[in-house]
A and B are shown apart, each in its own frame.
Chain A
């Protein structure tokens, strides 16, 4: 009892336990941890996240594994419930002693497990677009942050329709911070935000909003909706005939296969941005997507950049292990910090050593008849917004979440 307590007292000691646990024989499988929402309200995201993650892991194993060892993935279903993220993150670090944990969708899930894994010295890779700002040596993010996306979207809107933008956003950190970026981007383009509304996650009546937009007559509407209730907007927008009158853009549309679930006459023309769409014609994707469909069939909906980042996250980590020659955390972090790069279905992705976020190709696309039509490609877009305050090369001890300085 007493020994146990003194053991747990300091994180250093805990690290020692984990290290001991990881000393294994050369042909033992490497344990890795995955937490996804495979049931509950976020299942629509979690299913495809896991499919992409599993594809990456399977591909590693089929190619002979890492360092001659197979990957053995411990998968947990967090059931869209934060308390399970907490339980399972602890379990992965303390019992399963995994080499890396990947997963999580919402910012809250990330902020639940990130401190735990930091304290227990277990590497964490987070593969979702989020509001940006995390600066933590133990943490890598393959997702994009909204600053980049809204800049590009508003530029595209200014080229096509105009600079007066009406913003609809989830009343959520992601939505709030996106709205701030939009204001800044509009300003720097010489445009203006003519209206801005925030919606609780379970609002699905948009009559008042639609008539306010009609009154404001913006050049374009930009939405940052989150969750199933907000999807109701598109039907109501189309019902009022607005999809024929005012162009719509979104940084979130498409993440849960909306493009195949919603009737084309409702969603055609919505302009989106992201690092991946199935319609990308690069050579890698020409081989990758059929492989994905061979394994999972075609009844998975439609892949966009949220699930695909999980493929990148696992593939990047595997590459780093190969480079480091070990699964030991510090060595893998150092390998990732060499600016390691992998090619993938959305183009090459490489790690930014200073922020632990990623450079990646980004595509402007438009919803058209159950598919996203690619309009433009931006090569190697930098993770701009965490960069301002975060430099993990200069200050590796940073462990915080900056509110982006907008």
Chain B
């Protein structure tokens, strides 16, 4: 019984952390149709921002929930303003640009920050279920993921600015004709997506550590999750993260970790074969 409960919690955690890792990419992909290959490095920068400011004596929660998203949001602003904007949505050019950015950020982190920044231990204690224990921080990660995604949904669904964003996602020209400043909107959404990546990087840092190359462990799964989600990025990504997180963790429980990794990829392939335009290509068209 305890075992089932613990397994269930681990499954939820895997789903939540995959969603958290992917959501920033989903916002950027959903709004700008830009695949940000530097996404992993945005998470890395978020992790460093958190670890460095916490190490400098800043309150842990301020460092995690404010400084990290703000820092990566600022980075996102610069990237959008000086690179992405000038590519005019050319998907091929953005692949090369963001890949270059990814290498650049890794190199920068390796040169400037080095490999010796001290990490932060996961706060909180543990809860006990019979002979099993789980870190309370695990629940915290789930809560952050849920709060992030739910507030995005609420904002897009019910606020005026959310409506504007949805309109611009559907038809940028029409939105522009109706007086929306789509250029500023694109910048704003890129910054939002970056900030969310920064948040995710910071929240996961105590569990994953921070190194210049840490982004590589995130980017592939985030990429596959977001694309498999399909056209309606937020709903799609949430569903895909749940499916993939569940599959890989369940397979890892039943067998070896490598089976978990492969299972995720196979499910992604089968899914895209059955729904060639992603989960939300066929269903949930009216979702966000």
Contacts and interface: CB of A to CB of B under 8 A. Distances in A.
Q: Do chains A and B touch in the complex (CB under 8 A)?
A: yes
Contact of B256 (A197, A241, A260): A197
Given A211-B3, A263-B119, A204 B256 contact: no
Contacts of A207: 10, 13-14, 138, 249
A44 B211 contact: yes
Interface string B204-248: 001111011110110000000000000000000000000000001
Contact of B208 (A197, A204, A242, A260): A204
Interface in A219-255: 228-229, 231-232, 234-236, 238-242, 245
Interface stretch (B83-91, B92-100, B127-135): B127-135
Contacts of B120: 263
Contact of B258 (A198, A245, A301): A198
A211 B260 CA distance: 16
A389 interface: no
Contacts of B211: 44, 228, 231
B253 interface: yes
Interface in B112-171: 114-122, 124-126, 131-135, 137-138
A218 to B, nearest CB: 13
A27 interface: no
B252 A205 contact: yes
Interface centre among B107, B131, B209, B214 (most CB of A within 10 A): B209
Contacts of B256: 197-198
A328 interface: no
A208 B261 CA distance: 13
A291 interface: no
A368 to B, nearest CB: 15
B213 A41 contact: yes
B217 A43 contact: no
Interface residues on B, range: 35 or more
B257 A200 contact: yes
A215 B10 CA distance: 14
B78 interface: no
B119 A235 contact: yes
B7 interface: yes
A257 B173 CA distance: 53
B269 interface: no
B110 interface: yes
Contact of B207 (A43, A214, A236, A242): A236
Contact of B126 (A209, A241, A301): A241
B20 to A, nearest CB: 13
A257 B115 contact: yes
Given A198-B256, A240-B133, A44 B115 contact: yes
A72 B31 CA distance: 56
A261 interface: yes
B217 A202 contact: yes
Contact of B115 (A47, A203, A240): A47
A265 interface: yes
B133 A301 contact: no
Contacts of B272: none
Contacts of B175: none
B258 A171 contact: yes
Contacts of A43: 110, 115, 212
Contacts of A265: 121
A39 interface: yes
Contact of A232 (B110, B209, B212, B252): B209
A-B pairs with lowest CB-CB distance, top 6: A239-B135, A241-B126, A207-B10, A239-B122, A263-B121, A44-B115
Interface of A: 39-41, 43-44, 47, 171, 197-200, 202-205, 207-209, 211, 214-215, 217, 228-229, 231-232, 234-236, 238-242, 245, 256-257, 260-263, 265-266, 299-302
Interface of B: 3, 6-7, 10, 13-14, 17, 107, 110, 114-122, 124-126, 131-135, 137-138, 206-209, 211-214, 216-217, 248-249, 252-253, 256-258, 260-261
9 contacts: A171-B257, A198-B257, A198-B258, A203-B258, A205-B17, A207-B14, A217-B131, A231-B209, A261-B115
Given A239-B122, A266-B122, 14 more contacts: A41-B213, A47-B115, A202-B217, A211-B6, A214-B131, A217-B131, A231-B208, A232-B208, A235-B119, A239-B138, A245-B133, A262-B209, A299-B114, A301-B115
